[in-house]
Amino acid sequence: MDDHVFIKFNRKKVHFWSPQLHLEINDLNEGGSKIYGLFGPNPTLWTFFMFLHFGVATIFIGLGVWAYSSASLGRPLTLQIGLMVFMVLLWFVLYAFGRAGRSKGKPQMHELHQFMNRILEI
């Protein structure tokens, strides 16, 4: 697609955390090319994780508004504060899960890098 190349694994080797390599090849005026590369997760997985993070943040903000309203009315805040703490803990769990997935996909990232070097004969 234009100056972009996406290198992915075939279906047999793909697992939940499989990365992909996005290359952008720009032509230079001197007759050569410059290549920019970016390793990243599957776009569907990335979108799912961003959706989860956005959902946790939205719920946290909603709970904060609810807690402020309850405080203004002189009502107890135990439930709201407890749920807000739970949302923070959930965010840390999501973060840890993402980091664990990143380390699980690292060997395949090295495979993609070696494949790119073989193709480009670096």
Q: What is the CA radius of gyration of the chain?
A: 22
Q: Report the C-alpha dihedral over residues 69, 88, 59, 45, rounded to 10 degrees.
A: 170
Single-letter code of the amino acid located at 50: M
- Residue pLDDT, tens place only, 49-93: 899 999 999 999 999 999 999 999 999 999 999 999 999 999 999
pTM, entire model: 0.73
User: Residue 1 has what pLDDT?
Assistant: 58
Contact yes or no for 34/26 (Cβ under 8 A): yes
Structure tokens at 77: 């805040």
Q: Across the chain, which distance is largest between two alpha carbons, in Å?
A: 73
Q: What is the distance, to the nearest Å, from the Cα of residue 110 to the centroid of all Cα atoms in its chain?
A: 18
| Residue span of the structural domain in which 68 resides | 4-120
What domain count does the chain have? 1
How far apart are the C-alpha atoms of 60 and 83, rounded to whole Å?
A: 8
